[in-house]
């Protein structure tokens, strides 16, 4: 009887609802491959760009006059930031170090369930940015876990930041967009 009720033009399906020639994924399981490689490639790229830019600006620009890139709208001006974004929380450097390390661990654990390329890109940017600033906190003066982050991109009327900060903000912004569109890290889409 079920075969007779099939809608004309739809493929025959088995009891699990899979079309001919396809295998049904177990309930709740996304299709496709995990995107761990994409996550780590994006993270590595973000990290290396941040690290390379910081090494360059410390070697070439620290202790010098700011360089105007686009008139007064954008300058490169090296500062050491012991706090969080916008220089807040200078007394809590060790806490920011712990938060960055926690973010890295959470992203690494989430990678096991990652099937969405867009989420891999977003989380890769977060991971690379967190690693970039964590590297500063561990290896730069005044000491281990108390290091000041190197910031050098100085737009007019805005805080000075670095490429790691940019990667974190862009990754966070992408996560918000993906969440609003209903795309989960496992590649499923929901309509909440």
pLDDT in tens, 19-53: 333 334 444 555 678 899 999 999 999 999 999 99
pLDDT at residue 12 in the model: 45
* Any domain includes 27: no
pLDDT at residue 76 in the model: 95
* Any domain includes 19: no
* Any domain includes 30: no
Instruction: State the residue for tokens 């290396």.
Output: 48
Cα 105 to chain centroid distance, Å, stands at: 13
* Any domain includes 188: no
151 is catalytic: yes
pLDDT at residue 98 in the model: 84
Strands (E), the chain: 67-70, 74-81, 149-155
Average pLDDT over residues 167-190: 93
Contacts of 161 (CB under 8 A, 6+ apart): 85, 151, 153
Which residue range(s) make up the domain with 69?
Answer: 36-180
Which of 121-130, 143-152, 180-189 is most confident?
A: 121-130
What six digits make up the tokens of 22?
A: 């396809």
* Any domain includes 62: yes
Average pLDDT taken over every residue of the chain: 82
Average pLDDT over residues 164-180: 95
pTM over 0.75: yes
Round to whole Å and give the CA distance between 28 and 24: 11
Residue among 16, 151, 184, 192 flagged as catalytic: 151
Structural domain count, the chain: 1
Is 13 a residue whose pLDDT tops 50?
Answer: no
Least confident of 12-21, 37-46, 153-162, 180-189: 12-21
Is the previous residue joined to 142 through a cis bond, with omega within 30 degrees of 0?
yes
% the chain with pLDDT above 70: 78
Round to whole Å and give the CA distance between 97 and 144: 10
> What residues pair up with 19 in beta bridges, in sequence order?
13
Cα 39 to chain centroid distance, Å, stands at: 9
Least confident of 10-24, 56-70, 121-135, 171-185: 10-24
Residue among 12, 20, 165, 186 flagged as catalytic: 165
* Any domain includes 144: yes
Question: Taking a C-beta distance cutoff of 8 angstroms, is the pair 172, 126 a contact?
Answer: yes
* Any domain includes 138: yes
pLDDT at residue 24 in the model: 40
């Amino acid at each position: 009887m079920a075969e007779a009720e099939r809608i004309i033009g739809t493929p025959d399906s088995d009891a699990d609802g899979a079309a001919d020639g396809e295998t049904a994924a177990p309930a709740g399981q996304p299709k496709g491959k995990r995107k761990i490689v994409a996550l780590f490639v994006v993270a590595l790229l973000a990290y290396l760009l941040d690290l390379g830019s910081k090494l360059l600006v410390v070697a070439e620009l620290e202790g010098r006059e700011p360089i105007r890139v686009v008139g007064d709208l954008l300058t490169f001006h090296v500062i050491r930031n012991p706090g969080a974004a916008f220089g807040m929380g200078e007394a809590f450097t060790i806490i920011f170090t712990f938060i960055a390390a926690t973010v890295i661990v959470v992203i690494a654990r989430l990678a096991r369930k990652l099937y969405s390329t867009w989420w891999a890109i977003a989380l890769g940017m977060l991971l690379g940015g967190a690693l970039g600033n964590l590297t500063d906190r561990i290896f730069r003066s005044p000491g281990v876990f108390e290091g000041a982050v190197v910031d050098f991109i100085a737009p007019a009327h805005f805080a000075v930041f670095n490429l790691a900060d940019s990667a974190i903000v862009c990754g966070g912004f992408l996560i918000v967009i993906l969440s609003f569109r209903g795309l989960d890290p496992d590649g499923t889409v929901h309509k909440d």
